[in-house]
Structure formats: C-alpha cells, structure tokens
Structure 1
Amino acid sequence: MNAAQKAGGQAFEEAGLRPSDVDFAELYAPCTIVEVLVSEALGFAPRGAGARFAAEGRTSLGGDIPLSTSGGLTSRGHPAYVTPLYNLLEACEQLMHGAGDRQVEDAAIGLATAELGNYNAALVHILERVS
C-alpha cells in the first residue's frame, strides 16, 4: 500500500486538500481487505482502524467518508482494463449529483484510485464539483 500512500499524499498536496476535505472516494479495491488497507493508506481511517470504520458504518453511504458507493469492483464484474474508468464515472456521477440511490449528499470533492499489481503502482485523482 506504499504506492497508494505516496500517490495519495502527492494528490492531496497538489490539490491543497486533506483527506477530511473529501466527501466520498471510489477505491480500486477488488476485495474487502484491499478497501480497508487503501482507506488507511489514503488517511480516511487511522492505520489499523479501517475494518472497524467499515463495521461501524463510517465508510457507508451517509457515513463519515462513503467509500465505493458504486458497490465496488466485483459488483461490476471487475472487467479487465476498464475498471478504473468505472471508478471515474462513479466519481463524476456523484459530483454531478446524478448517482440516484447511491448519491452522497452535497458531494463536492471526490477521490478515485486505480492500481497496478496489488498496488505496486497507484493513481489517485481528486475531483471537484464546479457549478
């Protein structure tokens, strides 16, 4: 998860933001443990607390930091090569307030990640709603 932590740190620095400024995140996480680890690497949960945050509902829709509001990679079948595009699509739908039942209330800043080889490399994009 070093790549996610490094890419996330760089993205936050370039955007002039902190993890607490983000309204939602669409994470590249093909399984539960990866979502937990990436949420910690990006600073949405303290190290070692990602699973507890999820169990407490803090990463659910309506929680402190909704993660993977689309349902995650496996809910879309995790198609090869295009999965990161789905993460960006979900982020855009959230920011345009067109996500329907998945909508994060007043979403203005979102984050989307992509990875290569179990987070040996990572991309982190921070997007902002522009009215």
Structure 2
Amino acid sequence: HRAVVGMSGGVYALIGMHVADVVMNWHQKRYRKAILAVLIFLFVVDMVNAYVISSQCASHAAHFGGYCSGIMVGILLGVNLVVTKLERRLRAITLVVAVTLAVFCLVMGTRWPPQNLWEAIGSCEVVVGCGR
C-alpha cells in the first residue's frame, strides 16, 4: 500500500462520465463521432504514457477505479435524453454492480490487517506471529 496524492482518480472519473454520456445518448448527440474520437485519443495517449513513462508514483488502481466509478455514476445519474428499454436494463445492471463493488470495498477496507487481494497473510500471523 502507498499513499495516493493528487486528483487523477477524479479526472478519470470525469472521463468515465463523458463515456457514459456518449453511450447513453448516442443517437441524441449531435457531435457524437467527434466526442468519441476525442475520448479514444485520450485513451490511446494515456495507454502510451502508462507504458512509456512507467512511473512508480502513479496509482493505476486509482485511475482505473475513478474511470469505472465515473462510468457507473454517469449511467446511473447522468441525463438521459431518451430512455429505452435497453438503457433501463443497463441502469439496473450498473446499480447491482455498483452496490456489489461498494460492499466489497467496504469489507476489504475494514479487514485487519490491511492487505490487497493477493496477499495471503492472515491477521493471526501479523498480530501474534502464530504462523512463524
């Protein structure tokens, strides 16, 4: 674990909200292809930046989490000009996924010891050293 400083996760959330807006209002958007081209360009530039200038200080998990939460918030709370049956289903699925992820994150955040998904150290081993 490491401290994350900055607002890049929030910036990715805003990009995700734009993606959700384009998806939910594709047929109602006037400049949808231009907006999509800009979003794809941002994605490509970001991927090149991540591979070429691979920095140990960047939190890719914060970027990915911000992007995913932005898409989900955009689908759930964004303005939808014409609501179709498919979009209602997409909103329902997104709500289930968002609640599931929120509960999962709360459970993972309240576990002792703080660990990521791939660490196999139990709390007994950390607190009293019973596994040694």
User: Larger % of strand: which?
Assistant: 1
TM-score range, shorter chain: under 0.3
For the pair shown, which has the larger CA radius of gyration, 1 or 2?
Answer: 2
User: Larger % of helix: which?
Assistant: 2
Task: Output the TM-score relative to the length of structure 2.
Answer: 0.23
